[in-house]
Amino acid sequence: MTRVSHELDERLRAAAAATGLLDLAYDVLDDTPVGPLLVGVSDRGLARISFDADPEPQLEQLARLYGPRILRSSRPVERVRRELDEYFDGRRRDFDLELDLRAAPAYHRLVLEKLARVGYGHTTTYGALAAESGNPRAARAVGTVMNRNPVPIVLPCHRVVGANGSLTGYGGGLDRKEWLLRLEGAIL
Amino acid sequence: MAVAVPPFEIFYDAHKDEVLAFLRKRVGRDRADDVFQDTFLRALRAYERLEHGEHLRAWVLTIASRLIVDGARRDRPEARLASEPGGEDERPAYEELAPLTDGLPPKERAAVVLRYGYDLDYDEIGDALGSSEQAARQAASAGVRRLRKEKP
């Protein structure tokens, strides 16, 4: 049985990305301190970071959101990989990446923009973020926005905690939230 | 309902090994890698215009076949007839077939083009269409009958 070699396969994937025709290029970062991450990049910027790193079950959904020309390719994801590595090493406090938030509804985008201003090592609360987004009583809705954050870590939903200081919840699981806040020195 | 166009990754992963095997058989190991890349890049370029996800296997093998014929013509224009699949008898070449078969139902069209344009065997065509050898034979002959009726 003929099999495409790793080399030929990678060559095709790099060439496909170089055409600029991909709706989304993705790769799996296998060994980050918070486990494997799936990272998706479009021609507009970083579109997706997922703690569910198995691509297979997500491809159909990603195709509906971004288009069917989706391919695993490491080159387009390289910059995100580097910035995440630096962040995990404690050498980076802010990300310098274009974001593609087109899949998020308007209200989500509004809240995510406010979230982006919560700095490294700081925390805010769901209620405070709701107030900043125009409706102080929308803490629950803000929780939903955090839960569906398309690019966690880079948009720091881990910095949003309950009014009493409890960690409350995290799309990637509380262990990861705690790890990220410890990394940033926001908790001891 | 039409089958949705799958994510390109799934399409590529499903057909890459077979396309490479097909190319190695036709143009040899050395050239197969280059044509392999051209095949899937061309498929990527055309992917946006696909209206459904049916017969993708026949589709990508057709792209590969076309690239082989184009390459052979470029390399050795004088050897054109000998290198063209189906060129040894009166079978129409693939590019004469393509416009003629435009009006056929997709399965019959694929069967006719793969049989008479690219000289694939019925078991290969059956594989490409995801059906039996017998069904491929029937689709090709139904296509030919329809062509005779429609284009006297």
Any idea what the CATH number is for the domain that residue B69 is in?
1.10.1740.10
Positions of chain A with pLDDT lower than 50, given as ranges: none
Closest-CA residue in chain A for B22? A2
- Of A19, A59, A62, nearest to B44 by CB-CB distance is A19
Claim to verify: residue B94 and residue B60 sit in the same structural domain: no
**Chain A with chain B: Cβ pairs closer than 8 A:** 67
pTM: 0.77
Tokens of A155: 């948009």
Q: Do B36 and A71 touch (CB under 8 A)?
A: no
For residues A131 and A114, what is the distance between their CA atoms, to the nearest angstrom? 10
Number of domains, chain B = 2
Reported ipTM: the value is 0.91
Q: Is the pLDDT of residue B119 over 50?
A: yes
* Residues B41, A1: C-beta atoms closer than 8 Å: no
Return the minimum-mean-pLDDT range out of A55-69, A117-131, B37-51, B91-105. Answer: B91-105
B87 has pLDDT over 90: no
Q: What is the pLDDT of residues A142-175, one digit of tens each?
A: 999 999 999 999 999 999 999 998 999 999 999 9
Distance CA A95, CA A80 (A): 9
Q: Which residue has the higher pLDDT, A25 or B119?
A: A25
Q: Do A12 and B40 touch (CB under 8 A)?
A: yes
Residue where a domain stops, chosen among B27, B61, B79:
B79
- For chain B, where are the E strands, in sequence order? none
Average pLDDT over residues B66-77: 79
Residue B125's pLDDT is what? 79
- First and final C-alpha spacing in chain B: 33
Residue of higher predicted confidence among B132 and A33: A33
Asked if pLDDT for residue B81 goes beyond 60, the answer is no
The answer to whether residues A16 and A73 touch, using CB atoms and an 8 Å cutoff, is yes
For domain A106-183, give the CATH number.
1.10.10.10
**Largest CA-CA distance found in chain B, in angstroms, rounded:** 47
- Burial category of A53 from C-beta neighbours within 10 Å (exposed 0-12, middle 13-18, buried 19 and up): middle
Burial (Cβ within 10 Å: 0-12, 13-18, ≥19) of residue B100: middle
Question: What is the pLDDT at residue B137?
Answer: 87
Length of chain A: 188
Domain region containing B52: 1-79
Residue whose entry in the numeric block shows the structure tokens 């030929």: A8
DSSP class of residue B14 equals H
| Separation in Å, CA B84 to CA B20, B43, B69, B96, B115 | 19, 22, 6, 13, 13
The more confident residue out of B147 and A149 is A149
User: Taking a contact as any Cβ pair under 8 Å apart, which residues of chain A between 1 and 30 contact chain B?
Assistant: 1-4, 8-9, 11-12, 15-16, 19, 21-22
Q: Does B75 share its domain with B89?
A: no
User: Residue B143: pLDDT band by 50, 70, 90 thresholds?
Assistant: confident
pLDDT at B97: 66
**Surface of B (14-73) touching A: CB under 8 A:** 16-18, 20-21, 24, 33, 36-37, 40-41, 44-45, 47-48
The answer on B40 and B6 residing in a single domain is yes
Q: What would the CATH number be for the domain defined by A6-88?
A: 3.30.160
Check residue B130 and report its DSSP letter: T
